[in-house]
Structure 1
Amino acid sequence: MQTGYYAATAGMVAQFNRMDTIASNLANANTTGYKRDQLITGDFVRLFKEAQSELPIQNQTEAAAQYLNRSLSRVPQITDAYTDQSLGSMQQTGNTFDMALSKEGQFFAVSTPQGVRLTRDGTFTLSDQGKLVNKQGHEVLSTDYFQTKTAITLNPGDSIVTIDKNGQISTNVPGSNQMIANKKILVVEPQNIRMLMKEGDNLYVPDSTDPLTPLADSGSVMQGFTERSNVNAVNEMISLVEANRLVGMYQKAMDTQMNDMNRDAIEKIATTRR
């Protein structure tokens, strides 16, 4: 069997994975606070430069070099994946409990049945019990949550609710314009943002070793705004078309390897010379 067939197959699988990622990005283009995913494809030249001085067999034999060459000739493959945490555009809503974070790498924290999760989606509301919750009904955490285990609770009848740039909530004294401080929204900045894992519902699972220390002065909370996704639909569509064309090219290469070249070889080998 020709090695070119396996090379084309590997390339096609890499493009299928790429298409799945692009489709997910496009599906979430209008999801508040969504961050696009990106795949990194390794090619022969890159892999060879990384491993040309290191052979997989300790004695550095010719057999080891042959093994390395065979491994590297297996072509394009997905070598890494990451989430682009760049900021999306800010959209003003005017809603009291809509919040956005204007700095990259900062997150709100919510309490779920599976534990504390992080999110950039600040579309919050008040529950029937007056608790500040996200779209899924998970409680939004305050800076003192890990000490008190109590939720952020507001009176639905409060006529004035303000949230400053550091997440400090203030409400008015009933019947007056005098403001009193309530709880402060927990805003965290993970120590290693690449360790975050997407869980669904626009939530991230933090690293278990990260203490999630509250930011005293985050300076990024914007009341009455939401952050749009950082997905550029035009760029994603261009990438999708490119990946689709590459799949067609790999398919043609596979067909050439399996049919045209094999048929030509069989016809020549089968020719009887007298």
Structure 2
Amino acid sequence: MLRGLYTATAGMMTQQHRHDTVTQNIANLNTTGYKQVESVARSFPEVMVALQNGDQGRDNRQVGKLNTGVFAEESISMMVQGDVTESNSSDDLALISDIQVANPQGGNIAFDDSGKAVQANGQTIYKPQAFFNVENPAGGIGYTRDGDMHLSSDGRLVTSMNQNVLGQDGQPIVLAGSMDDYWVRENGTIFNKATGAASGRIGITVAEQPNGLTRDGEGLFAEKTQGAGSLRAATNEDAIEVKQGFLERSTVDAAQSMVDLTAALRAYEANQKVVQFYDKSLDKAVNEVGRV
């Protein structure tokens, strides 16, 4: 009996985590460059159920497998290209990434809508993604798709979270005047409109394994384990384009998020009723059956 109580409780905890994940997505519905997060659940190890005394002379006849609960294993960011909308502001920069991966059998690998492809041998491959290089307040380099940028009072190009945007040389980009005085080419090179001289180039990093990156707060991603994201500097051969006057929208699907939120709530309530049922059964066993 207690096994069912623990199973229902584990289900409640999993649905709570799922609910929190969807709520986070909805809260960032209008956050520039935000990548939707999906909650991944995994069942506890299965156990084989068998008859205790066998059946018709057969010892321990197998009945079937039984899962003894479920838990939220992790939250995975959906690293896919978001919709790009025009903002008509010189400060805004959108990063469009469509990096292809060659298929050993010829052509390019076809990725699904989640940016994932499963090979015939079972190997999972994720579509590479590009990120702006910014200075991580915690130290080191952070990676972001937040193109909502502006020039600070001292001329530093910063994100909406006031993080320094780094150039290819790893140093903060400093410009004079306003972004209206500059135009940004597709490869991230910044040119002065008056003189035509290059004033720097925005640092862009390609993550060959974007799901190896972890969220580091304030819209940043980081490579906590070296090599997990297989990072490299972007090259002119990569299908990457920087568009000035545009912003990348969040990848959150508002309608699907509301469906997931309702489903998590209903599943939580169902598990809650199971817990209440077991509680009443135990109460009857202790206070009534035990009295006899």
Place the TM-score, normalised by the shorter chain, in its bin.
Answer: 0.7 to 0.9
CA contact (8 A) 2:151 2:179 kept: no
Shift of 1:81: 2.4
Deviation digits for residues 120-176 of structure 1 (CA, Å, limit 9, x no counterpart): 00111111222211123221111122xxxx4322220686421111111111235xx
Distance 2:145 2:87 in 1: 16
2:133 alignment partner in structure 1: 109
Shift of 1:258: 1.6
* Structure 1 SS opposite 2:232: coil
Distance 1:159 1:235, change over 3 A: closer
Larger proportion of helix: 1
2:130–2:234 Cα contact (<8 Å) kept:
no
1:47-68 alpha-carbon deviations (Å, 9 max, x no partner): 54xx98xxxxxxxxxxxxxxxx
Query: Residue 154 of structure 1 aligns to a residue in which SS?
Result: coil
CA drift of 1:197 comes to 1.4
Specify every segment of 5 or more residues in structure 2 that has no aligned partner in the other structure, as ranges.
Answer: 49-64, 99-128
Pair member with larger Rg: 1
Higher strand share: 2
CA distance 1:10–1:157, change in 2 (3 Å): closer
Aligned residue type for 1:181: A
Residue 194 (structure 1) shift = 2.0
CA distance in 2, matches of 1:216, 1:225: 22
CA distance in 2, matches of 1:172, 1:6: 67
Q: Which residue of 1 aligns with 2:185?
A: 164
Distance 1:36 1:200 in 2: 14
Alpha-carbon distance change, 239 to 187 in structure 1, aligned in 2, over 3 angstroms = same
| Equivalent in the alignment of 1:11 | 11
Decide whether the 8 Å contact of 2:150 with 2:179 is kept in 1: no
Matched, 1:224 2:239: no
1:84 counterpart letter in structure 2? M
Residue 250 of structure 1 is matched in structure 2 by 271
Asked whether the 8 Å contact 1:15–1:247 carries over to 2, the reply is yes
Work out the CA distance in 2 between the residues paired with 1:157 and 1:125: 8
The yes-or-no answer on 1:131 pairing with 2:156 is yes
Q: Distance in 2 between matches of 1:212 and 1:144?
A: 16
Number of residue pairs matched by the alignment? 241
RMSD: 2.5
Cα distance between partner residues in 2 of 1:109 and 1:157? 21
Report SS of the residue matched to 1:194. helix
Question: Hey, what's the Cα distance between the residues in 2 that align with 1:261 and 1:139?
Answer: 60
Which position in structure 2 is the counterpart of 1:214? 233
- The answer to whether structure 1 residue 201 and structure 2 residue 226 are counterparts is no
Secondary structure in 2 matching 1:237: helix
* Deviation (angstroms), 1:209: 2.4
User: What does residue 80 of structure 2 align with?
Assistant: 86
Q: Name the amino acid aligned to 1:205.
A: A
With over 3 angstroms needed to count, the CA separation of the structure-2 counterparts of 1:82 and 1:165, relative to structure 1, is: same
Amino acid at match of 1:255: Q
Over 3 Å counting, the alpha-carbon distance change for 1:267 and 1:165 in structure 2 is same
Name the CA distance, whole Å, in 1 between partners of 2:174 and 2:183: 14
Q: By how many angstroms is 1:204 displaced?
A: 1.2
Matches within 5 A, 1:46-195: 47-48=45-46, 73-103=67-97, 105-114=129-138, 115-145=140-170, 150-156=171-177, 160-173=181-194, 179-195=196-212
Structure 1 residue 256 displacement after superposition: 1.1
In structure 2, C-alpha distance between the alignment counterparts of 1:159 and 1:79, rounded to whole Å: 47
Q: Which residue of 2 aligns with 1:241?
A: 262
- State TM-score, norm by structure 2: 0.75
Q: Give the 3 Å change call, closer, same or farther, for CA 173–7 of structure 1 in structure 2.
A: same
- Report the Cα offset of residue 103 of structure 1: 1.3
